[in-house]
Amino acid sequence: MTSRGGVVLAVLVLTGTMAACDSAPPVIAVVGNTGDPEVARALLDSLHPDLRIRVVGMVGEGSAVEPLEQARKLMSIPGLVAVIGHRDSRSSLVAAQVYNQEGVPHVVPTSTSIRLRDAGRWTYTLVPDDSIEGGLIAAIADTLLHASRVTLFHVADEYGAGIRTGAESALRSRDIEILDVVSYDSGRSSCLQDPARGFELLVRGSVAARGVPDVVILGSRTPDAACIVREFHALDPEISFLAADGVNVGPAFVSPARAPATARTLVVQFWDPGGPPSPRGDFATFYRSLMGTDPVHGHALFADAALLVSQAIREVGPDRAAVRRYLEGLGRDRAAFQGFTGRIDRQGISAASLVLMHGNGSRWTPEG
């Protein structure tokens, strides 16, 4: 749809059944991965056919500057009520400057950086921050994996650094030895495309200098995590792996990591696509019928954000300040919102909603 460095503005108009009026319809902007705007439009068309809302989709984030450009472009759209996005912590933090300056509700579906807490009162996050997730990861490493020696690998951005900080602090409080902390730049070549430029040297160097861990914690995204797991597993098949939410379980992870390693991998997720449908509906089936592929937890979170904003517009109207107050009052002044991913209040979804998955896509169970 677009090159990675480019920006595409695609307007998807939700018509609905409400009679047309003279004023411009309220606009929700969705800034994320390809397909997220289309899913948002289809969901609102299906679940809120009486609302006359335009869904404006923008995809393509190739530089640190680009989120600012995207945010400024969106400010020129008549009737803009709220923005959903961006796709990661860094771009969300950058763009939040514009949204808070302009007084536009900014709903962040998937980013975990604790710094988003201080981005401004117009920024609302759906998921627990990295200090909470890092604490959960340390608890899992301790109580489920019985870790005594841990190595952390993380991507050198706000997401990876946040997971590292949260996990490090919690691991130390549990007296678990941290053998090594390895930070790496994103964009590294795939271990399948070019092993010499992949993660082999980083993994082997860590083991040679600091020793073999019994658990490796990953603040990585799917391709990188798969390569790191593959390299560690080749050195010692008894190592266990614990990945943060940036990893999507399923074929994209299993293929490069190889199946034996993924059986020893646990991944923190915000939603289980194979779980029972929520009271809101069966999002997994809806997504497959629309997109022809299986959803991951980020898709469900973007969908929940779109439904949440549309519900706010339904109840309080398209005034930006009213929508912000609606979000601030969830679970306090008004009922919490029931989404595909669970109960959503003014603090987003609860950490209790997080699920633990095996790398191959099956849900972890105490007996498993």
Q: How far apart are CA 89 and CA 260, in angstroms?
A: 31
Decide: 244 and 269 in contact? Cβ < 8 Å: no
Question: Model pTM?
Answer: 0.88
pLDDT in tens, 163-216: 999 999 999 999 999 999 999 987 655 565 665 557 888 999 999 999 999 999
Pairing type for strands 355-358 and 265-269 reads antiparallel
For residues 222 and 46, give the distance between their C-alpha atoms in angstroms, rounded to a whole number.
31
Query: Which residues have C-beta within 8 Å of that of residue 208, sequence separation ≥ 6?
Result: none
Q: What is the CATH number of domain 130-269?
A: 3.40.50.2300
CA–CA dist 91, 79 (Å, integer): 23
Give residues with Cβ within 8 angstroms of 94, minimum separation 6: 64, 67, 68, 71
Domain ranges of the chain: 8-127+277-350, 130-269
Identify the H or E element spanning 179: strand 177-184
Q: pLDDT per residue over 78-101, tens digit each? A: 999 999 999 899 999 999 999 999
Q: Is the dihedral of CA 312, 314, 315, 317 positive or negative?
A: positive
CATH 3.40.50.2300 corresponds to the domain 8-127+277-350:
yes
Q: Which residues lie across from 182 on neighbouring strands?
A: 153
Domains 8-127+277-350 and 130-269 agree in fold: yes
Helix pair 297-316, 283-291: axis angle to 10 deg: 100
Is the pLDDT at 310 greater than 70? The verdict is yes
Phi-psi region of 103 (alpha: psi -120 to 50; beta: other; left: phi over 0): left
Q: Is 284 helix (H, G, I), strand (E, B) or coil?
A: helix
Q: How confident is the model at residue 6 (pLDDT cuts 50, 70, 90)?
A: very low
pLDDT computed for residue 13 by the predictor: 36
Question: What would the pLDDT profile of 131-161 be if each residue is shown by its tens digit?
Answer: 999 999 999 999 999 999 999 999 999 999 9
Mean pLDDT of all residues in 39-66: 81
